[in-house]
């Protein structure tokens, strides 16, 4: 089989963001665009020559074409074996699990996660290293650097292969194994959770709905929740992965998973609702007319993990991303374990997990996970909650309100201003950085800024420093305001503002989150001059 060296010209916009390279499909479809990036990855990940690679994606538009291109390039770049999910499908956590189980040198995930799919929507590509987690910043920086002056890439001359048929096939000297995307992942879950007690709960009439949002978790949830655990047929809705996710945003929040939310109204006969995102790493947990914030979910998991088979010896420590509420910090304090605060993005949890400094970790953006993989894991979180409900035999609302009664409540919300002009967004952030000295010690009504900074993280394992990770205003009563720009958007800039207030005695306050936080929200707007600078009167999304 011929290997060709194909001449190319560099693109200057291949800098990976929070979670790999995300662009419009049309950008990826430019001649050599995907190829350049893949060659840059193979160049930096030299150690994958002669090794195994895991490859799959969330099934969005351009997934299959990209897989055929990557396979031909992998063969030309000396990779010995590629494990590919059938039909090109693999969830992000399943890729992470497969890398670990098969001692692969890395994996490539094709997804733009919760961003919409289709010819006019988004595509993405991400490289994970041999621990199963997203490549760390020095790696992605090196990929970007190489992509800026790449002049050729390698590709074998070969026909496309059939991605639908399980089994093995060769491309040149490289072996391709098409595997069932679900089997090994389901096996892993069965060791972490007490499937028998969850099954018994379904057998006794417990019902739930899981919204796969026409994304990757459909096949996983069908197999695990309906087939293995015996939930009634129809439990998994929107189960079929579609290239455009049925036209929706595969983003599990109250806005985009409204179908699920309406199925869990007060009159509902179901006790539990859950949803996952495009690539299966996010989760939303709801009870009957009751939303569990992701930050609370993480804290509740930490407080109860020892009750579940996979975590019965307790937690070594926990971690949360900086903007995530401090609810889990209070649990860690009571458990007497360390709580680490990392920058946004799962790659920062990798070292802590590898070094056994933490067992559980999570982000406010509907992500949680544990040391079983090196990605956040949507279905894992859903099974965690199901197992917890089976043990406690209580409603979601009762579990959460009991938690608040014991630990206090962190009122929390995030305001997103999407697709604002990049220059305006950069100026707004710069203005905040320049205001830090003046803000220190300033009072706004009852709130006084005790401390403020531009968050910088020193990795406790390798001592690497990640600076410029978001502006934090820390108030004397424990309230916080955080500002940062998204690293996953594909249009202009997205400003995220995170607002949090702690209430130790929950009987004192019973308001709606937006009301409890209203003073802080106003402070957040004024300090950053959001309205005057962006011209936006309200956020696009509130979560």
Task: Single out the segment in contact with ligand VG1 by CB under 6 A; choices: 190-198, 256-264, 274-282, 329-337.
Answer: 274-282
Task: Single out the segment in contact with Co ion by CB under 5 A; choices: 98-106, 270-278, 300-308, 407-415.
Answer: 270-278
| Phi-psi category of residue 280: left, alpha or beta, with phi > 0 → left and psi -120 to 50 → alpha | left
Q: Is 344 in the site for ligand VG1 (CB under 6 A)?
A: yes
Closest residue to ligand VG1, judged by C-beta, is 113
In sequence order, what are the residues at sequence separation of 6 or more whose Cβ sits closer than 8 angstroms to the Cβ of residue 371? 353, 356, 358, 359, 360
Among 281, 296, 459, 503, binds ligand VG1 (CB under 6 A): 281
Output b/e per residue, 416-453; b: 16+ Cβ within 10 A. bbbebeeebbeebbeebeebbeeeeeeebeebebeebe
Interaction partner, residue 158 (ligand VG1, Co ion, none; CB < 5-8 Å by kind): none
Q: Is 371 in the site for Co ion (CB under 5 A)?
A: no
Smallest separation, CB 75 to Co ion (Å):
29
Q: Is 113 in the site for Co ion (CB under 5 A)?
A: yes
Smallest separation, CB 219 to ligand VG1 (Å):
18
CA Rg value for the chain: 23
Smallest separation, CB 91 to ligand VG1 (Å):
11
Q: Is 345 in the site for ligand VG1 (CB under 6 A)?
A: yes
List of E strands, 214-335: 236-237, 272-276, 283-287, 290-292, 317-321
Inter-residue contact 317 to 341 (CB < 8 Å): no
In sequence order, what are the residues at sequence separation of 6 or more whose Cβ sits closer than 8 angstroms to the Cβ of residue 402? 394
Q: Has 113 been annotated as catalytic?
A: yes
Interaction partner, residue 345 (Co ion, ligand VG1, none; CB < 5-8 Å by kind): ligand VG1
Among 100, 114, 357, 372, binds ligand VG1 (CB under 6 A): 114
Q: Between 292 and 321, how does the x/- string for binding to ligand VG1 read (CB under 6 A)?
A: -----------------------------x
Neighbours of 152 (CB within 10 A): 15
- Of residues 75 and 109, the one with the C-beta less far from ligand VG1: 109
- Of residues 342 and 387, the one with the C-beta less far from ligand VG1: 342
In sequence order, what are the residues at sequence separation of 6 or more whose Cβ sits closer than 8 angstroms to the Cβ of residue 421? 492, 493, 534
Q: HSE on the CB side for 147, CA within 13 Å?
A: 24
- Of residues 230 and 487, the one with the C-beta less far from ligand VG1: 487
- Rounded to whole angstroms, the maximal C-alpha distance in the chain is 73
Task: Single out the segment in contact with ligand VG1 by CB under 6 A; choices: 82-90, 157-165, 189-197, 338-346.
Answer: 338-346
Helix (H) / strand (E) element for 454: namely strand 447-454
Q: Is 256 in the site for ligand VG1 (CB under 6 A)?
A: no
Task: Single out the segment in contact with Co ion by CB under 5 A; choices: 3-11, 250-258, 272-280, 301-309.
Answer: 272-280
The dihedrals phi and psi of 400, each to the nearest 5 degrees, come to -70, -45
- Of residues 117 and 317, the one with the C-beta less far from Co ion: 117
Interaction partner, residue 365 (Co ion, ligand VG1, none; CB < 5-8 Å by kind): ligand VG1
251: tokens are: 């983003």
Residue 83 exposed, middle or buried by CB count within 10 Å (0-12, 13-18, 19+) = buried
Smallest separation, CB 326 to ligand VG1 (Å):
16
* Residue-by-residue DSSP string for 207-226: -EEEE-TTSTHHHHHIIIII
Among 226, 251, 277, 377, binds Co ion (CB under 5 A): 277
- Of residues 277 and 459, the one with the C-beta less far from ligand VG1: 277
Among 113, 304, 359, 525, binds ligand VG1 (CB under 6 A): 113
Q: Is 346 in the site for ligand VG1 (CB under 6 A)?
A: yes
* End-to-end Cα, the chain, rounded Å: 53
Neighbours of 43 (CB within 10 A): 17
List 40, 91, 113, 370, catalytic entry: 113
Q: Is 363 in the site for Co ion (CB under 5 A)?
A: no
Task: Single out the segment in contact with Co ion by CB under 5 A; choices: 72-80, 280-288, 304-312, 401-409.
Answer: 280-288
Residue 200 exposed, middle or buried by CB count within 10 Å (0-12, 13-18, 19+) = middle
Q: Is 363 in the site for ligand VG1 (CB under 6 A)?
A: yes
Output b/e per residue, 201-215; b: 16+ Cβ within 10 A. bbeeebebbbbbbbb
Q: Is 342 in the site for ligand VG1 (CB under 6 A)?
A: no
Closest residue to Co ion, judged by C-beta, is 113
Provide the binding-site residues for ligand VG1, judged by CB under 6 A. 18-19, 113-114, 277, 281-282, 321, 344-346, 363, 365, 367, 486-488, 496
**Catalytic residue numbers, as ranges:** 113
Provide the binding-site residues for Co ion, judged by CB under 5 A. 113, 277, 279, 281-282
């Amino acid at each position: 089989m011929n290997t060709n060296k194909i001449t190319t010209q560099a693109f200057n916009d291949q800098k990976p963001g929070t979670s790999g390279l995300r662009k419009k499909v049309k950008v990826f479809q430019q001649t050599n665009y995907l190829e350049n990036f893949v060659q840059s990855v193979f160049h930096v990940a030299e150690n994958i020559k002669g090794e195994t690679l895991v490859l799959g994606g969330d099934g969005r538009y351009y997934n299959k074409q990209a897989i055929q291109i990557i396979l031909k390039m992998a063969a030309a770049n000396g990779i010995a074996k590629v494990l590919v999910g059938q039909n090109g499908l693999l969830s992000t956590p399943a890729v992470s699990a497969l890398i670990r189980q098969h001692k692969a040198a890395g994996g490539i995930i094709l997804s733009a996660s919760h961003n919409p799919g289709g010819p006019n929507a988004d595509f993405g590509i991400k490289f994970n290293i041999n621990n199963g987690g997203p490549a760390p910043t020095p790696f992605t920086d090196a990929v970007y650097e190489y992509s800026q002056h790449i002049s050729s890439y390698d590709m074998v001359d070969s026909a496309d292969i059939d991605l639908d048929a399980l089994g093995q096939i060769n491309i040149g000297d490289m072996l391709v194994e098409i595997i069932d995307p679900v089997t090994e992942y389901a096996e892993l879950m069965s060791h972490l959770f007490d499937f028998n007690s969850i099954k018994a709960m379904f057998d006794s009439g417990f019902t739930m709905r899981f919204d796969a949002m026409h994304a990757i978790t459909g096949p996983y949830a069908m197999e695990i929740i309906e087939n293995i655990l015996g939930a009634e047929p129809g439990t998994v809705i929107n189960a079929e992965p579609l290239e455009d996710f049925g036209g929706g945003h595969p983003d599990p929040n109250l806005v985009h998973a409204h179908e699920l939310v309406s199925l869990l109204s007060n009159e509902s006969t179901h006790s539990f609702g859950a949803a996952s995102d495009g690539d299966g790493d996010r989760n939303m947990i709801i009870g009957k007319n009751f939303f569990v914030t992701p930050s609370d979910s993480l804290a509740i998991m930490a407080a109860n993990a020892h009750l579940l088979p996979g975590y019965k010896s307790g937690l070594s420590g926990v971690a949360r991303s900086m903007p995530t509420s401090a609810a889990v910090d209070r649990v860690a304090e009571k458990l007497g374990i360390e709580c680490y605060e990392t920058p946004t993005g799962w790659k920062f949890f990798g070292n802590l997990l590898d070094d056994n400094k933490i067992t559980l970790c999570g982000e406010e953006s509907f992500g949680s996970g544990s040391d079983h993989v090196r990605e956040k894991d949507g279905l894992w979180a859903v099974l965690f909650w199901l197992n917890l409900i089976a043990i406690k035999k209580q409603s979601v609302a009762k579990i959460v309100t009991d938690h608040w009664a014991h630990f206090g409540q962190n009122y929390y919300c995030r305001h997103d201003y999407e697709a604002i002009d990049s220059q305006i967004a950069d100026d707004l952030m710069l203005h905040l950085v320049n205001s830090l000295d003046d803000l220190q010690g300033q009072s706004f009504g009852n709130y006084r800024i005790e401390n403020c900074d531009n968050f910088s993280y020193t990795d406790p394992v390798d001592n690497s420093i990640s600076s410029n990770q978001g502006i934090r205003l820390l108030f004397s009563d424990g309230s916080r305001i955080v500002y940062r720009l998204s690293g996953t958007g594909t249009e202009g800039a997205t400003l995220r503002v995170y607002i949090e207030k702690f209430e130790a005695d929950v009987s004192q306050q019973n308001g709606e989150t937006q009301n409890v936080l209203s003073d802080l929200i106003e402070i957040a707007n004024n300090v950053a001059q959001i309205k005057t600078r962006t011209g936006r009167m309200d956020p696009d999304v509130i979560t």
